[in-house]
Structure 1
Amino acid sequence: MAKRWLPLANLVFLLLLFTHSHSATHPADVAALRDIKNSLTDITSAAQFFSTWDFSSAADADPCSSFAGVTCSASRVTILTLGTGLSDSPGLAGTLPAAIARLAALTQLILFAGIVTGPIPPELAALRRLRVISLAGNRLTGAIPPEILRLPALHTLDLSRNRLSGAVPPPLAAAPQLKILVLAGNRLTGEFPGDLPPQLLHLDLSSNLLTGELPAKLPAALRYLSAANNRLRGSLSGSALDPLSDLAYVDLSMNELSGPVPGPLLRRGVTSLLLQRNNFSGGLPESPPWEAVAGSTVDLSHNFLSGEVTAALAGVETLFLNNNRLSGGVAAEYAASVAAGTMKTLYLQHNYLTGFPLGVGSALPEAAAVCVSYNCMAAPPLGLAACPDSAGEQLSRPAYQCNGFHNSLD
């Protein structure tokens, strides 16, 4: 039988494919990875993330083909993932070495949660292809190097849940591709940054020590904004939030914001509006009822809101108005919304309300959680079954509190 030979072109292709898929890692990257391993370590011997990082035999241990967390293209490291990210893994310890900056083709740097300490190496600014930096959940200290915010390809920067200090470095507007910025859970000080990139979609500065007011202008593309648990002040009336048509999530809770609740934010596109534990005052907006949106949440609890509960928020799925100074009756649209299953949670406890629109013998869906305890209702139509423990065990306020409250309004 005659032998069947592959065409020369096919042989060349297969040879190139085999050579590319089994090519050795670039020597400069091997040296950088060696220094990285010398700076970091598994917290426990059981974790063993670095067990595959064996430099003892270059022939048998090519980083691009056998090292955990290393992804390559054309013999260069393009993605470096440090740690397993598993829920039962304690992560890594040590410090981030400047050697990472010698991985010239790196596009993603991910460090899973652990106890890595020390500063963020400013040398990372040399990685011009870097698109993602995620170092969340460690114990990094010092200031955020402003150089990394000017990386031309940087799309995502997540430095949350560390111990970083100092101000948010300016100018953020100089980050040409930055769309996701997460700096939550640090010790950042100074005022809320006012020079944000116009293309920014996601901004999380929560749980820091930021002061001042929201800037007069925010990125038009912004969809997610969280600055909860800071020291922000001022009013949101006529703020930069009003014209942001793509905004869907707003969390400014646990600040020192004041003035009226911003009516323009009570719109269909904003599915989560969290303004609890501030100093907002005045009445609820008189706007038409919010259109029903599945999954929508509005939390205005623990403020100083007064007046009657207007129908403006009757379409919200989860609504918290508890611990305010609301009085009078509750719009009938709320009982109708709960009965229809549109509104699933309605907390009105710890106000001065005098009635809830529920007829005698009426029943609400079993899944509904409606709490109206500790108001000025002599016989509240609902018990305590759906109330949280923080509501207490008293169904009604003492009469002297209600009389004194209403007299103070006259």
Structure 2
Amino acid sequence: MAKGSFLLFLQLVIFSFFTSASSLSMSKSDFAALREIRNSLTEIPSAAATRFFSSWDFSAADPCTSFAGVTCFSSRVTILSLGTGLSESPGLAGTLSPAIAKLTELNQLILFSGIVTGPIPFRLGSLHNLRVISLTRNRLTEDIPAAIFNLPNLHTLDLSHNQLSGRIPPAVPGLNQLKVLILSNNKLLGNLPSSFCDQLLHLDLSNNYLTGTLPEQIPSGLRYLSLSNNHIWGPIDGLESLSELAYLDLSMNRFSGAIPTYLFRPCITSMLLQRNNLSGGVPQSPPWSYGAGSTVDLSHNFLTGEITPALIGVETLFLNNNRLNGQVPEEYVQSVKAGTMKTLYLQHNYITGFPIEEGYVLPETTAVCISYNCMAAPPLGMAACPASAGYQRSRPAYQCAASHNRTSSSLD
């Protein structure tokens, strides 16, 4: 054999050796699973986006070092991120392959926004190392596999913005370490589960079709709770022990009865209870210093009585579309003047006075709306009012008289 031919032959042998070694640097079972996963997904064409699967070359590349979205440890896949997550990328289509369950060392599974359809593979419930499952903003359907809720090491489960249906599977108390549960924007039905994982810190079940009342057992460590836009009814009960709660959204449901006084505390910087059937008055609670960025929305309910000083420190306050009467406390006016309260909506009530000097110009950073109340000429005009407030500056006199009579009768 000529020397040149021998050198070429030697180069081919060396190349073949390293190619084979590279392919074998990953577990054969994981390698096969990735091939099945790739075959179940397609990329949505886009001229502007980088093609996610362009690096998935099964003939030459080492998946552990070359495949986008694949992270390994000791030749096993531990993180699988499907899609680029970039805003200009339309994402992936297809279905989630059951072969994901063959990646037995997987601890993070992420699917970025796209149009992936079909069910969540029920065998994911066998991957006991999983800590994060995030399959958001796609078109996944059918029930959530119950076994997922009992994975012993699961920390975060985010299945939001899909088309999942059925009931929320119950969690076995004490079985897992779930801290974050986000199932918002789906088509989930039935009552809320009677209990949740004791370790839960973040719970978002908003924008579903859930019914029933608040569960008796709510994790005491919750910091974020959103049940907005469901069909949940009954009183707001069982939240007194949530001493760490900072964000509460129970808006657009069918809650009724009085607002518990214990909710008016400085640690809750966002309290959204609008568009329910809540009654009674604003609780007689001491004024708290809620701080910058705080929001309280009690609008579109059936609250009555005079406004109390409880909410003076809130930055954005909505009390509009209730049945509140009397004069606005001086403290609220001073807070608006100082710019600490930036939004105060009181329109569509039966308020009789807003103690501010005629012609006073509020700071440009504030928005105050007091139209359609029982004041002949609201002192601040309607420039800051939303379009939904309507064009009428004051209530008809007969409505104000009727409201006064009702209030007087209730005090007799």
- Fold shared, TM-score > 0.5 on shorter chain: yes
Contact 2:315/2:343 (8 A) holds in 1 = yes
SS in 2 for 1:77: strand
1:376-406 CA-to-partner distances (Å, cap 9, x unmatched) read 1101110111111111222112222222332
SS in 1 for 2:381: coil
Could you tell me which residue of structure 2 aligns to residue 168 of structure 1? 168
Contact 2:267/2:290 (8 A) holds in 1 = no
| Alpha-carbon distance in structure 2 between the residues aligned to 1:254 and 1:40 | 37
- Residue among 54, 57, 60 paired with 2:57: 54
**Partner letter of residue 35 of structure 1?**
E
1:37 and 2:38 aligned: yes
Q: How does 1:125-144 map to 2 (within 5 A)?
A: 125-144=125-144
| Alpha-carbon distance in structure 1 between the residues aligned to 2:295 and 2:42 | 43
After superposing the two structures, state which structure 1 stretch, 301-310 or 385-394, moved more.
385-394
Moved over 4 A (4+): 20-23
Q: Percent identity?
A: 66
Deviation at 1:151, TM superposition (A): 0.9
Q: Give the TM-score normalised by the residue count of structure 2.
A: 0.91
Deviation at 1:277, TM superposition (A): 0.2
Q: Give the TM-score normalised by the residue count of structure 1.
A: 0.91
- Residue among 286, 306, 309 paired with 2:307: 309
1:217 and 2:220 aligned: no
Deviation at 1:291, TM superposition (A): 1.8
| Alpha-carbon distance in structure 2 between the residues aligned to 1:337 and 1:297 | 15
Contact 2:269/2:290 (8 A) holds in 1 = no
SS in 2 for 1:286: coil
SS in 2 for 1:89: coil
Contact 1:373/1:383 (8 A) holds in 2 = yes
1:320 and 2:318 aligned: yes
1:267 and 2:265 aligned: yes
SS in 1 for 2:30: helix
Could you tell me which residue of structure 2 aligns to residue 72 of structure 1? 72
1:375 and 2:373 aligned: yes
Residues 233/407 of structure 1: CA separation in 2 closer, same or farther (3 Å cut): same
| Alpha-carbon distance in structure 1 between the residues aligned to 2:175 and 2:114 | 28
Could you tell me which residue of structure 2 aligns to residue 105 of structure 1? 105
**Partner letter of residue 42 of structure 1?**
E
After superposing the two structures, state which structure 1 stretch, 170-179 or 140-149, moved more.
170-179
After superposing the two structures, state which structure 1 stretch, 267-276 or 285-294, moved more.
285-294
- Residue among 244, 247, 256 paired with 1:246: 244
Deviation at 1:316, TM superposition (A): 0.5
**Partner letter of residue 187 of structure 2?**
R
1:338-369 CA-to-partner distances (Å, cap 9, x unmatched) read 11221111000111111112123433212111
1:162-212 CA-to-partner distances (Å, cap 9, x unmatched) read 111111101352541100000111111111112211110000011111111
**Partner letter of residue 244 of structure 1?**
L
1:28 and 2:25 aligned: no
Residues 143/22 of structure 1: CA separation in 2 closer, same or farther (3 Å cut): closer
| Alpha-carbon distance in structure 2 between the residues aligned to 1:183 and 1:44 | 29
Could you tell me which residue of structure 1 aligns to residue 283 of structure 2? 285
Contact 1:222/1:247 (8 A) holds in 2 = yes
1:188 and 2:188 aligned: yes
Could you tell me which residue of structure 1 aligns to residue 399 of structure 2? 401
Contact 1:184/1:205 (8 A) holds in 2 = yes
**Partner letter of residue 322 of structure 2?**
N
**Partner letter of residue 321 of structure 1?**
L
| Alpha-carbon distance in structure 1 between the residues aligned to 2:160 and 2:177 | 20
Deviation at 1:290, TM superposition (A): 2.2
Deviation at 1:21, TM superposition (A): 11
| Alpha-carbon distance in structure 2 between the residues aligned to 1:128 and 1:288 | 49
SS in 2 for 1:354: strand
Q: Which runs of 5+ in 2 are unaligned?
A: 1-20
Deviation at 1:125, TM superposition (A): 1.6
Q: Which runs of 5+ in 1 are unaligned?
A: 1-19
| Alpha-carbon distance in structure 1 between the residues aligned to 2:265 and 2:355 | 25
Contact 1:325/1:352 (8 A) holds in 2 = yes
After superposing the two structures, state which structure 1 stretch, 333-342 or 22-31, moved more.
22-31
SS in 1 for 2:303: strand
Residues 175/116 of structure 1: CA separation in 2 closer, same or farther (3 Å cut): farther
Contact 1:154/1:175 (8 A) holds in 2 = no
Contact 2:46/2:89 (8 A) holds in 1 = no
SS in 2 for 1:187: coil
| Alpha-carbon distance in structure 1 between the residues aligned to 2:66 and 2:323 | 63
Deviation at 1:407, TM superposition (A): 3.0
SS in 2 for 1:282: coil
Contact 2:22/2:62 (8 A) holds in 1 = no
Contact 1:149/1:174 (8 A) holds in 2 = no
| Alpha-carbon distance in structure 2 between the residues aligned to 1:274 and 1:243 | 19
Between the two proteins, the alignment pairs up a number of residues equal to: 386
| Alpha-carbon distance in structure 2 between the residues aligned to 1:125 and 1:350 | 51
Could you tell me which residue of structure 1 aligns to residue 14 of structure 2? none
| Alpha-carbon distance in structure 2 between the residues aligned to 1:21 and 1:62 | 5
Contact 1:292/1:342 (8 A) holds in 2 = no
Residues 292/141 of structure 1: CA separation in 2 closer, same or farther (3 Å cut): closer
SS in 2 for 1:273: strand
Residues 251/175 of structure 1: CA separation in 2 closer, same or farther (3 Å cut): farther
